[in-house]
A and B are shown apart, each in its own frame.
Chain A
Amino acid sequence: MKTFRLLTAAVALFCASTTYAQARHNGFSVILLVGDNQPAAGGDNLPPAPGVRKALADVKDFLPYKSYRVFDTQWMQKGSARMKGLDEQEYEVEITDLDDLMPNIAKTRPGVLRVVFKLQESGAASIPGEEYARSMQAADLEKQLAALRANKAELSVKYGEGNPAVVTAERRIADLEKRIRAVRAHKLIDSSFEMGVGETVVVGTSKVGGGDKGLVVLLTSVAGK
């Protein structure tokens, strides 16, 4: 009987702590930035939130970028959302709480979230084996684009800019560029980590070696009131 009481108390304590931890977490603030090797011309457009500023100040020495510019910001619960990037590039963000998927398996500490964060360009392949077929398709579309650009240049010389034929060619070029972007879409980030409520984690991606630009996400787990 005594053992049964102890077990009941332990289960109640576990449930209470879990509920308390979940109640304190209200959602995620996601800020999508681009880090650039060139200094910003007109100053940065970073949000004034001190947590965000502090996180960027902390990582500045570790990342090779001289300026940061905000593409999009999003407030979200767990799940997925779309965010806008450079040149109308769209990104899909997905946040999963591992404790929702496996609530009874080895939760480390109360108040700590186990997060799976994914970021991909919109339309990215869902199956790894699809990549090869997509690269072949992209090569074909690139050829079509080159031919279309040459055609548009000829039309511009012949009829001048603003001619309906030229405008039509421009529209077809824009459509084709959009299709190529979708075919070349990649999965960029797939990370799992723990984060405390109120903590900001810097998640990013770049070419091997840093590249000229990098995509940076400031992910903050926001505490509820």
Chain B
Amino acid sequence: MKLKQYLIEGDPAARDGGLDAFHADAMRQRVLLEALEATTQPAVASGLWWLRPIAVAGALAACLIVAVVIGTRINTGESTPAYVERPFQGRVQPPRQLQFSSPGGTRIIWTFHQEFDL
């Protein structure tokens, strides 16, 4: 009992007179207004409920397309070469050379050319 008495005496709001009628009414109006707005928003969202599965289906379809494209690129085996070979006529082979001596002592130095034409 004594404890209860102490608490009542120590309560700072116990001696507060509370809101006057005007402020109490303003607060009540405010609460009612917020409550009304909270009940109208789900109605708007429920109007777009069908968009959600379509968005999910679209995302899945996009993932599927990307996967198919990557798969075909990797598995065809017709990948483009890292370099393009030059045409055959562009490659010039170095000439081959032969040096020897005849029994008579004359030296012969002969060069073989792939493209020689006389």
Contact = CB atoms under 8 A, between A and B. Distances in A.
Interface of A: 34, 54-55, 57-59, 61-63, 85-86, 117, 128, 131-132, 135-136, 139, 186, 188-191, 193, 195, 199-209, 211, 213-215
Interface residues of B, number: 26
Contact of B112 (A54, A186, A206): A206
Interface string B103-118: 1111111111111111
B111 A186 contact: no
Contacts, number: 92
Interface stretch (B32-40, B77-85, B94-102): B94-102
Contacts of B116: 186, 188, 205-207, 211, 215
B86 interface: yes
Which are the 6 A-B pairs with shortest beta-carbon distances? A58-B104, A58-B106, A132-B90, A58-B102, A205-B111, A213-B118
A45 to B, nearest CB: 17
Contacts of B109: 117, 189, 191, 193, 201-204
18 contacts: A54-B104, A58-B102, A58-B105, A59-B106, A63-B108, A117-B109, A132-B90, A188-B111, A195-B107, A201-B109, A204-B108, A206-B110, A206-B113, A208-B113, A209-B112, A211-B116, A211-B118, A213-B118
Given A193-B107, A202-B107, A208 B118 contact: no
